[in-house]
Structure 1
Amino acid sequence: MWRQFAEAPEQRLRDRLVLHYAPLVKYVAGRVGTGLPTHVDVGDLVQSGIFGLVDAIEKFEPERGLRFETYAMQRIRGAILDDLRSQDWVPRVVRSRAREAERAMERLGARLNRTPTDAELATELEITVDELRDLYGQLQLTSVVALEDLVAVGKDSGSLVDTLPDDDAVDPVAVLVDQDNRRQLADAIAQLSERDRIVVSLYYFESLTLAEIGKVLGVTESRVSQLHTRAVLRLRAKLVEQAGV
């Protein structure tokens, strides 16, 4: 079907490809929607994801040797996140508190030369640990961010999709930049607490849902959502520090 579409990109063939890969959209939308406020309709996420799938089908180049599923999932997720951001469903006060928490983490990290604990961060923000965990819950939507967004903090690089290797056109500079980005992300992850590292690994690399991670850790899905939010904030603060922005 891909060969036919490459030779003659007709609407009929594109629609068949969309139907064939539609389950990818449902899967990605389900993962992005996990932990979001109840007013966020997963059906809306699926609709946004379909546009990402269509875009992926039209731009995919089979000759590059990449798996379409990997490429498409990045495009689908990107389309969903773009739509969430454009809708601006996160209240301004929540965005402000997220920035405040990130700056506090950055200050503490520089002062302590390590990742601050919840207790230390709460003290820096002049709130209690329970209030900090409530804040993590409020920041759930702001933490819906792909790892490629974290890698791009403070840089002009685009989506991680755009850095996928092309065996027919190796750019040594691009390879070095990509390796440096990945190294910085790996360093930042290594400085997380053990539980945060587990959450990041299981969610982003093993593709487990928050509920499944909760069963692994023996905690509630709500608590895993808090841990995920905390891990993302810590990663962002560390990467911003490394980027010097």
Structure 2
Amino acid sequence: MKEQKVPHLTSLELWRAWREHGDINAKKDLIENYLPLVEYVTNRMSIGLPKNVSKEDLGSHGVMGLIDAIEKFDYLRGLQFETYASWRIRGAIIDGLRQGDWVPRSVREKAKKIEEAYQVLEQRHMRSITDAEICEYLDISEKDFANIVQDISFSTIFSLEEPLREEESETRMSLLIDQSAKKPESTVDDVFLKASLEKGIERLTEKERTVISLFYYEDLSLSEIAEVMSLSPSRISQLHSKAIQRLRGVLEQHRAELFHS
């Protein structure tokens, strides 16, 4: 008699076998099925990082994020696993980078000065601040400012994907791009934070808004954005970095008003 082949389980059957019956083989199959998602996120996040950051290390962190997502995902809610897992994978990679402390202290200090300059000047003038105004405030040349922005571009690549609070996985960008996933226990603070981010985005230059939109909303890499906008990847990196510093300044102002009101 010819041996009958056992059909592959569907995705739903795998989830049911794993979540309801604790089938370890089903869990392994789920991990294997979604490994390409880890590769996709890793490739996207590795763009623009220093050469000393290994893509293999990023991938290892990403796999841990995928496993965490599979262990915590509730397939009965009808949500898309890929979206949920992507945030978990990004978060695991960011945590791994933080633990490795790959951003030099001098770069962090430069980023903080730029962030504070945007915060002070935009609060003072209530409008988008030019590079020339930032340079005057910091008492540096525009060439030096451009070099500083280039230096800090690596440290800002994940800024909007950092958790709102250390003990939570919800990020700043999730408040803007995932309206349907808003939790019932969301606080008034989250509402004001979202408003602050939207206000900050309105103050970005047209090119900065375009970069933020293409990177965080359209899921394009910096090199793809460079091609779309007919600019060099380094220029796109600078625009992204300046946009993030503006937004971080707005968020710091929001935090100051919230806790001192």
Question: TM-score, normalization: structure 1?
Answer: 0.89
Q: Which has the higher contact order (CA 8 A, sep 6+)?
A: 1
Q: Distance in 2 between matches of 1:9 and 1:220?
A: 50
Aligned length: 240
* CA apart distance, 1:2: 0.9
- Give the letter for the 1:193 counterpart: T
Structure number with bigger Rg? 2
Cα 1:198–1:90, aligned 2, differ >3 Å: closer, same or farther?
same
CA contact (8 A) 2:204 2:246 kept: yes
Per the alignment, residue 98 of structure 2 pairs with: 85
Written as runs of structure 1 = structure 2, the 5 A alignment for 1:219-238 is: 219-238=231-250
Cα offsets for 1:82-105 (capped at 9, x unmatched): 010110011111111111111111
Cα 1:225–1:34, aligned 2, differ >3 Å: closer, same or farther?
same
Q: Distance in 2 between matches of 1:143 and 1:77?
A: 14
CA contact (8 A) 2:212 2:243 kept: yes
- Give the letter for the 1:37 counterpart: P
Q: Distance in 2 between matches of 1:177 and 1:65?
A: 28
CA contact (8 A) 2:193 2:251 kept: no
Written as runs of structure 1 = structure 2, the 5 A alignment for 1:1-245 is: 1-149=14-162, 152=164, 158-160=168-170, 171=184, 173-174=185-186, 177-244=189-256
- Unaligned residue ranges in structure 1 (runs of 5+): none
Q: Distance in 2 between matches of 1:242 and 1:83?
A: 28
Aligned residue for 2:103, secondary structure, equals coil
Question: TM-score, normalization: structure 2?
Answer: 0.84
* CA apart distance, 1:178: 4.2
Further displaced range: 176-185 or 22-31:
176-185
Aligned residue for 1:244, secondary structure, equals helix
Q: Give the fraction of aligned pairs with identical amino acids, expressed as a percent.
A: 38
Further displaced range: 192-201 or 117-126:
117-126
CA contact (8 A) 2:91 2:162 kept: no
CA contact (8 A) 1:5 1:14 kept: yes
* CA apart distance, 1:142: 1.4
- Give the letter for the 2:71 counterpart: E
RMSD between superposed Cα atoms in Å: 2.4
* CA apart distance, 1:157: 7.7
